Structure formats: C-alpha cells, structure tokens
Chains A and B, each alone.
Chain A
Amino acid sequence: MLAWTIYISFIGVLVLMLLPRDDARAARIVALLTAIASCVVAFVGAIQQANPGEVTTIVKVPWIPSIGASYYLAADGISLVLVVLTGLAAVTGILFSWNIEKRTKEFFAFYLALIGGVYGVFLSFDVLLLFVFYELTIIPKYFLIARWGSTRKEYGAMKLALYSFVGSHLVLIGLIAAWVVARAQTGHASLDLLELSKISFPLGFQHWVFPLVFIGFGILAGLWPFHTWAPTGHVAAPTAGSMLLAGVVMKLGAYGCLRVAMVLFPEGVRMWQNEIALLAVIGIVYGAGVALVQKDFKFVIGYSSVSHMGFVLLGLATLNSIGLSGAVLQMFSHGIIAGLLFAVVGRMVYDRTHTRDFNDLQTMQLGKLLPFAGVTFVLAGVASMGLPGFSGFVAELQVLMGAWQVFPKSTILAGVGIVVGVAYILRAWQKAFYSDAVVPAKSGHDHPLEPISMPERIGAVILLAATLVIGIFPGLLLNWIQPCLNSPLSMFARLLNGGPQ
C-alpha cells in the first residue's frame, strides 16, 4: 500500500504535464489532490503496519539479476516516521505555493517529482534502488530553485546540485566497492540492504569506506564543514523549495547515513564515532552562532537548519538506542518546524514585503500588520528553541541524554548551541515582528499588505498541530522508532550492541 505514495506522486507529474500550458488553477488543484492522496496513503499505510519493529516487505521483484538488484520496497518504523513527514511536508508545501503564477504547471510537476523521489528513498531496501531515488531528487531541486527562486538563485541552485551530485558520487564509489567485496565474500551478488547488513566487511575496508559513504550522505544532511550549500540553497529557493529542502531533503542525507553507511559498516562507525560527534557539535554551535548575526531573515532560518541537523548527526554518533531514536525523532521534528519557519519567512513575509532585510522589516511593524504571521512565528520559534510541549524538546532531549553517556564534553557544547538558538530566535522575532523602532512616515509605502490567505492558514495550522501533537504524545512516533532499534533481529542490532557479532 505504501508504495502508492511513490506511484501517486509520479502519476501526478504525468497528469500535470498533460494539462494545458497556462492553466494555473487546474495545476494547483491537481498538485494538491495528488499530495493529499499520497499523504493519506502514507498515514493509512503507516497505521496499518502491524509491527513497526520489523521490516515489512511491500514489493520485491528481481530487477537486474546479474548484479543482484531487486525492486525491493519495504518499511520499518523509521521509514514510517519519515514517510509520514514527507506526506505532511508535501501537502503544506503546496498550500504555501498557492501564489505561484509563473509556469505553475512546470513548478508543481518538478515539485511532485521531488516528492516521489523522497518517498522512494525512504521506502527502498535495495541499495541501488535507494540510490536511484536519491539521485532522482537532484534534478527537480535544481530546477525548482533556478527557475522559481530569488536571491542569487542560479548560483544557489547550481551549488546545491553540485554538492548533492558530488555527495552521491562518493556514495557510489563506496557502494561499488562494498558490492565487490561482499560478492567476493559470499560468492553471489546482492544489493539487498538486509543481506548486506549481515556481512562483516574487513576492518581495514570499513575504515576508509565508511567515512566516504557517511560524508557522501552527510553533505546533504548539512554536515559541517560540507554544509555551505544549505544556507545559500535555502535562501535562493522558493518557499515551497526551502520547506522541502529543510523539511525532507536534508533528512534524505541523514537517513542515508543511518540506513546505509552505519548499518553496512558498524565497525567503521565505531572507528570514526568521535570525529562525527565533533563535526556535529561544531555544526550545532557554528550554525547557531552564524544565525545570530545575520541581516537577512531567511539566512537565520537557513543556518538554524544546519544547527538543528547537527543534533541529528550527534544523535547518530551516540550509537545508543536513546540517541538514535532521538536522532530519528529530530528528523521528523525539524522537518515540521523548519518547514513552518520557512513558510512564515518566505511566503507570509517576503512575498508580501519583498524584503527580508531586518533593517527594512524593523520599520514595518509586521506584528500589527500581519498578526497571524507574528503568532505563527512565535509558536514556531518556541518549538524551534525546544520548549517542552513541542516536538523539538523531546527529540533534542533524547539526543542529549544519549550523547551524555558517550561524549559529555560535546554534550555541554551542544547545550550552548541550544542557548544560542534561543537568542537568535528571540532576535529575529523582535526585529522582524515586534520592533519598537519608530516608523518613518514614508509616503510611497502605504499600500496595505495583502492579508494572510486561507491556504496559508490551513498549512500553518497543520504544521503547528503536528509539532504539538508529537510534543505532547511523543509515544506516537517513538512506538514506531524504538522497536526498530531495540529488536535483537533488526538491522541496527550490530550497531547498538557493540563489537563484531
């Protein structure tokens, strides 16, 4: 059933391509219906899955027998969490793109192609298939930004595309090498993730191949110092583009780190655990620090994404159950919260004021002009700071608890990052919405801002509700994540239990 999330998205792309050239309204409606349909399928499929702790096969047919590749879609609890996140991000992204008038049909076609690819990555249990979907997302990302973006869009788009491509090629080198070594060891070719996860690769091999694959995926997860695509890409992207980039595309990287790099090379992770944690913590503190001094509203959120993704990577590096489950929960939580923040900045503010510079925004009294945007940003900001009651709290707390057991010093530094996180949100909050700067009586700028539209309100409410529900009942997702990690038969068992099996 869950496979239909992928198919529906690509059917949507085809339908959009067949629509008449300039019918924007039809394109929007088709896109929204497609996204809702795939989101409903994602929810129903996820709830129906009886045992989230096990890998449940959806479809498995041979694809290229000579190299052992199969068309193997399956899901365990971690996939379910991310598939549901993708569903939510897809629907709300379209709601916040309701005002796209230029080449609407092409915009949504690329958008849905990207979504389809993302669903595919989260559901693939064949390494080659996962890689196919992973690379499939690069092209729509590039065109969405280069065509419909703003500030230095062609530069941002090309940078993102090249970083992604270089990253995925590092992964490809690692995969080919691992495939050859595994074939030499077992005597038959296989690209099945579950089969590969049972193979013990030689230690010397894991020592160099793990960092290659981890960094390859990590580039897309905003791993410091390979994160520089993220702020420029986020800023250049159209609102829905940044929502998807921060919301799900960065998760693709983190998911790949966990599902491929770490599962295949558990000894490699142990060898490089400290270095990963160090990079993650630098990312947390650096991202937060840089966000604190930005003049551009969107760059604040862009760097905050780097900082929050640092928690995901730190959680992965802990190699204990609580840290890993925190990392997965943080993927979900950051996907929702970052989506909301970008929606406020890009759609609610920038599309109306045409500026993101704090100096200009300060004079506009947006808190009074756009009260809905102000309140949404306050709530999203509070969620982003990690206040109890919102999803970010549970996730970051788990990551820190996990990290405390392994690297106490880094954990303290990460805590500093959280404090800085409070500061940059408060600063943005005050400068953009509730500044008491005196309003200069400008004659040219007195036309009223267009009120917040219904699609925007619905989108904001959906995302706020998601972060609140998970904040109050984290068990809803943890019941999916934890059985996956704790089951002695799962693919993560080697990773958590320590030592070669």
Chain B
Amino acid sequence: MNYFQIIQLAAPETIVVVTVLAVLAMDLIALRGRSVEQRFNAGALVSIIGCLLAALVAMARHESFNLMNGLLVVDPQTDFLKVVLLILTIFTVLISVSGKFTEHVGEYLSLVLLATIGLMFLVSSEDILMIFISLEMASLSLYILTAFNKRNARSSEAALKYFLFGGMSAAFLLFGLSLIYGLSGSTNLSEIATGLAGKGLDPLLLVAIVTTVIGFGFKVAAVPFHLWAPDAYEGAPTPSAAFIASGSKVASFFILAKIMTFGFAGVEGSAVWHGYVSGWMPVIAIVAALSMVLGNLTAIVQTSVKRLLAYSAIAHAGYMLLGVLANTPASLSGLLFYVITYALTVLGAFGVVTVVEAATGGDAIRNFAGLSRRAPLMSLCLLVFLLSLGGIPPLAGFIGKFFLFSAVVGADADHLGLLWLVILAIVMSAVSFYYYLQVLKQAYVLDAAAGAPDIKVPPATLFALVLLALLVILLGCAPGLLTQFL
C-alpha cells in the first residue's frame, strides 16, 4: 500500500481538498478588489465544480476496500453517502451566494468545503479514533461558520455557545470511546464487538454507552443535549445553520447507527413495552422520546422561524433516533432515507428564510406575511418544504416517516413492543403540523403590509430552491430512486 493508492481511495476527499486550496487562492490573489458579489459567484462556481467532480468520482467507482483495519472504508454505501453530502454542500453554496453576512468569501466557502471533507471521512471510517478526528474536523469548521457574521453579536454568542457545548460533548465522547478501547482492546468497531462479547453489561460499559450517547446527542441536538441548537440556528448566518441542520445530521446519524449496531452489538438491551432490558436501546429510547415531545411542544410557541426550525430539528432527531433504536436492516435504510430527505427539505426551508431575511430584515413569522404574492414561486417551494417536514403525502417527508415507523414497529412484529414509541412519534407529528401551518398561514392567508414590494429572489437561490422542491416531491412520489442505494 503506497501513498498513491491511498490518495486513489480517498479521491473524492482529495478533490475537495484541492478545491479548498483553489477557492482560497483565487479569492486572495485573482479576485482582490472585486465586489463581494463577484467574488461569491466565482468562488461558488469553483466550489460547485469541485464538488460535482468529487461526486462523479465517488459515483463512478464500484469497489469495496477496507484500508488499515477500518480507518478508511470504501464501499458503495459510503460512496453514495459522500455523493449525498456533496450535493448538500452544493445546495448550501447556492443559497449562500446571495448572503450579505460576510466579505471573507474565500474563507467562508473553504470552511464549508472543509466541513464537508470532515463529514466525508466520518462516513467512511469504522475506527473510533478516525471517527473522532473527522467528527472534530467537521465540528471545528462548523463553529467558525456559525460565528461568521462578525457584525452581529448574536452570531458570536451562538458560536461560543455551540463551541463550548460542542467541546464538552467531544470530551464526553472521547471519554466514552477511551473506556470502550480499554474494555475491548481495539479501536475497530467490529473488533470492539468481539472484544465485548460475553462480558455482559459491565458497569464501565454502561458508562461508556451513556457518554457516547451524550456525545452524539449533542451533535444531533437531541434532548436533553439540545440547548445549543436554537441559539446557534438563530444566531448563525442562515446558510451555515442550514449546513449544520443538513449535512452534519446525515453523517452523524449514519455513524451513530454504525457505532451502536456494530460496536455495541450484543449489549442492545431492549426498549419494548413491559420488556425493558438494560443496554443501549433504552438509553436511546429515552432520548428519542424526550426529543420528540419537547422539540414539538416548544416549537409551537416560537416566533422566529429559525428557532422554530431548530426545535423542529430536535423533534426530527427524535424520530430518527427510533430508526437507530430499532436496529434492523430495514430500519437503517429507513433512517437513511429519512435523514437524507430531511436534509434536502430543511436546506430548502433555510434557503427561503435566507431570502426573506435579506428582503424584510428579519426571520420572525410575521415577516412571511403575504409571501405568496410577493414571491409566488418561492412560497410554493416553502409550502412543499414545510408540508414535507410536517409529513403530508405525497412528499418525501411522509414516505420517510412511513418507512421509518413501519420498520420500527416491524422490528418486533410478534408483540408490537416498539409500537408505543411510534404512537408517541405519530401523535407528536400531528402536533408539529400546527406550527408548520402557522408559517404557511402567514404566507398564504395573511396579506403583506400595504405597499410591500415584490421580493426579488436571486436566480441562483431560486434555482436551488426549485430544484430542492422538485426533489422533495419526486422522492415522495418515487422513493425507489433513493431506496435502491440504501
């Protein structure tokens, strides 16, 4: 194994690294003195070309390879997830170009790409050390992206909060992982499972499970580790928040499911009704139930759309944790379908918020009043995104819920033992419909203040939003297009 082969295996990541350097260099050297808009357009173009190239490379190869005992795992599934992450990055860049939150264009775009690289390495590692390193690489970029609006004190506050909470969660995660290493003598996930086999539920292992769940609970913003999320979403520049809610969610959930199902195989325990057995499943069940209930109930009273989306993200994390918990092949593919379609949808929703914020100066719910007349096409996109988040068929969000929930119930088909969690999830998703409808009510029912001009949506953003809306509809009507890869 020489370096050339390693680079070949990591070709998509390498291409993105080269793109980062190109974007930085171009912005600092060639585009000096140009307007922010021009620099943003040029930088975005290069970033998008780089991401597309990387996605093509990842899509074109069909090999499976496991480098150095799980440090870098290349197989069709991880390659597909990398393509998804790259597509999400492209959309994030597209909704960023109209942003007026920074003049450090090169740095902004390269940080988005660096975060993507971290996430790409994250999905293709089966080694806890590598998982931790790539997770931190992505997180550090995201902290800076949150702080990127230097003129806004809330942005710095949000970033500090995110950073402190994130740092603490990293410490928890590292503590848990080190215990696991101590118990099993390996950093590779499947070897950990062999090492742990037969030892039963050691108290030390229980601590390791809990701290690992805490660490990832922070990353996916699950209750009670969610406190950073609303502030970070609200204070961060909207495209950064969109990326935190989309790309980082996809990768974190994938790796969480991998750690739990591979690493902790054998100490699942059980969360079925009247059949509780301690292990990692009950821990996840509690976190999931709390997230669904608290996220949805708190979202009802929000007046800022970004905070509303943050609490709804917490609730959705709760639904997705059910997919981790069910621990069957069907539930894993249901989880991936859900998290990917969720990421696309929430990116779109944040994209609309970006435009409305730029045009009206705020993201309060009342700023959306009369949107259907001020920007008809964009508000149609918003309708699609929010209804999909609310789970209205035939949009992707509904099919995702059906896949996920039916897989969770199906995990214990004989006694329907997990039905209680699904009932909770479905009841709570009925609650969620109320607050999504509050936003849509502003857009479609109420009128804008007299004389409010039409909103000019930047063409690149509108293109991205329409494309995302079409994807959400398409994946709802023909989910087979996505499920074949999962």
Query: Which A residues fall within an 8 A CB radius of B?
Result: 64-67, 106, 128, 131-132, 135-136, 138-139, 142-143, 146-147, 154, 158, 161-162, 165-166, 169, 172-173, 176-177, 179-181, 183-184
Contact B441 A169 (CB under 8 A): no
List 13 A-B residue pairs with CB atoms under 8 Å apart, sorted by A's residue number: A66-B480, A66-B483, A67-B406, A135-B393, A136-B394, A139-B392, A142-B437, A143-B445, A146-B445, A172-B405, A180-B409, A180-B416, A181-B413
Q: Is B430 an interface residue (CB 8 A)?
A: yes
In the docked arrangement, what's the CA distance between A158 and B483, Å?
35
Q: A165-B430, A165-B433 are in contact. List 10 more A-B contacts (CB 8 A).
A: A64-B479, A135-B392, A138-B392, A161-B433, A162-B430, A162-B433, A176-B406, A180-B416, A181-B413, A183-B413
Query: Which B residues fall within an 8 A CB radius of A?
Result: 372, 387, 392-394, 398-399, 402-403, 405-406, 409-410, 413-414, 416, 419, 422-423, 426-427, 429-430, 433-434, 437, 441, 444-445, 479-480, 483
Contact A131 B393 (CB under 8 A): yes
In the docked arrangement, what's the CA distance between A136 and B480, Å?
21
In the docked arrangement, what's the CA distance between A142 and B410, Å?
34
Given contacts A128-B402, A173-B426, A177-B419, contact A183 B410 (CB under 8 A): yes
In the docked arrangement, what's the CA distance between A161 and B390, Å?
13
Contact B393 A132 (CB under 8 A): yes
Q: How far is the CB of B345 from chain A (nearest CB, A)?
A: 16
**10 tightest A-B CB contacts, nearest first:** A132-B393, A184-B413, A169-B430, A146-B445, A180-B409, A180-B410, A165-B433, A176-B406, A169-B426, A166-B430
In the docked arrangement, what's the CA distance between A180 and B403, Å?
12
Q: Which residues of A contact B445 (CB under 8 A)?
A: 143, 146-147, 154
In the docked arrangement, what's the CA distance between A237 and B479, Å?
36
Contact A67 B413 (CB under 8 A): no
Given contacts A162-B434, A165-B430, A173-B426, contact A135 B402 (CB under 8 A): no
Q: Which residues of B contact A146 (CB under 8 A)?
A: 441, 444-445
Contact B426 A172 (CB under 8 A): yes
- Tell me the interface secondary structure of chain A in the complex: helix
Contact A176 B422 (CB under 8 A): yes
Contact B416 A67 (CB under 8 A): no
Output the nearest chain A residue to B403 by Cβ-Cβ distance: A67
Q: How far is the CB of B272 from chain A (nearest CB, A)?
A: 14
Contact A184 B434 (CB under 8 A): no
Q: Which residues of A contact B413 (CB under 8 A)?
A: 180-181, 183-184
Contact B392 A136 (CB under 8 A): yes
Output the nearest chain B residue to A185 by Cβ-Cβ distance: B413
In the docked arrangement, what's the CA distance between A142 and B444, Å?
11
Q: How far is the CB of B95 from chain A (nearest CB, A)?
A: 24
In the docked arrangement, what's the CA distance between A232 and B437, Å?
19
Q: Which residues of B contact A136 (CB under 8 A)?
A: 392-394
Q: Which residues of A contact B394 (CB under 8 A)?
A: 132, 136
In the docked arrangement, what's the CA distance between A121 and B479, Å?
21
Given contacts A176-B409, A180-B409, contact A64 B399 (CB under 8 A): yes
Q: How far is the CB of A123 from chain B (nearest CB, A)?
A: 15
Q: How far is the CB of A24 from chain B (nearest CB, A)?
A: 15
Q: How far is the CB of A85 from chain B (nearest CB, A)?
A: 24
Q: How far is the CB of B486 from chain A (nearest CB, A)?
A: 10
In the docked arrangement, what's the CA distance between A165 and B428, Å?
11
In the docked arrangement, what's the CA distance between A176 and B427, Å?
14
In the docked arrangement, what's the CA distance between A162 and B441, Å?
14
In the docked arrangement, what's the CA distance between A486 and B287, Å?
52
Q: How far is the CB of A484 from chain B (nearest CB, A)?
A: 27
Q: How far is the CB of A294 from chain B (nearest CB, A)?
A: 27
Q: Which residues of B contact A176 (CB under 8 A)?
A: 402, 405-406, 409, 422
Q: How far is the CB of A320 from chain B (nearest CB, A)?
A: 33
Question: Which residue, of A106, A147, A169, has the highest number of chain B Cβ atoms within 10 A?
Answer: A169
Q: How far is the CB of A217 from chain B (nearest CB, A)?
A: 15
Q: Which residues of B contact A183 (CB under 8 A)?
A: 410, 413
Q: Which residues of A contact B392 (CB under 8 A)?
A: 135-136, 138-139
In the docked arrangement, what's the CA distance between A106 and B399, Å?
27
In the docked arrangement, what's the CA distance between A110 and B96, Å?
33
Output the nearest chain B residue to A146 by Cβ-Cβ distance: B445
In the docked arrangement, what's the CA distance between A106 and B376, Å?
11
Q: Which residues of A contact B430 (CB under 8 A)?
A: 162, 165-166, 169
In the docked arrangement, what's the CA distance between A482 and B426, Å?
37
Contact A158 B437 (CB under 8 A): yes
Determine which of B423, B437, B479 lies in contact with A161 in the assembled complex, contact meaning CB atoms within 8 Å.
B437
Q: Which residues of A contact B405 (CB under 8 A)?
A: 172, 176
Determine which of B414, B441, B444 lies in contact with A184 in the assembled complex, contact meaning CB atoms within 8 Å.
B414
Output the nearest chain B residue to A147 by Cβ-Cβ distance: B445
Given contacts A181-B413, A183-B413, contact A173 B433 (CB under 8 A): no
In the docked arrangement, what's the CA distance between A162 and B427, Å?
12
In the docked arrangement, what's the CA distance between A132 and B430, Å?
15
In the docked arrangement, what's the CA distance between A136 and B433, Å?
13
In the docked arrangement, what's the CA distance between A138 and B394, Å?
12
Q: How far is the CB of A190 from chain B (nearest CB, A)?
A: 12
Q: Which residues of A contact B399 (CB under 8 A)?
A: 64
Determine which of B409, B437, B441 lies in contact with A177 in the assembled complex, contact meaning CB atoms within 8 Å.
B409
In the docked arrangement, what's the CA distance between A99 and B43, Å?
53
Q: How far is the CB of A63 from chain B (nearest CB, A)?
A: 8
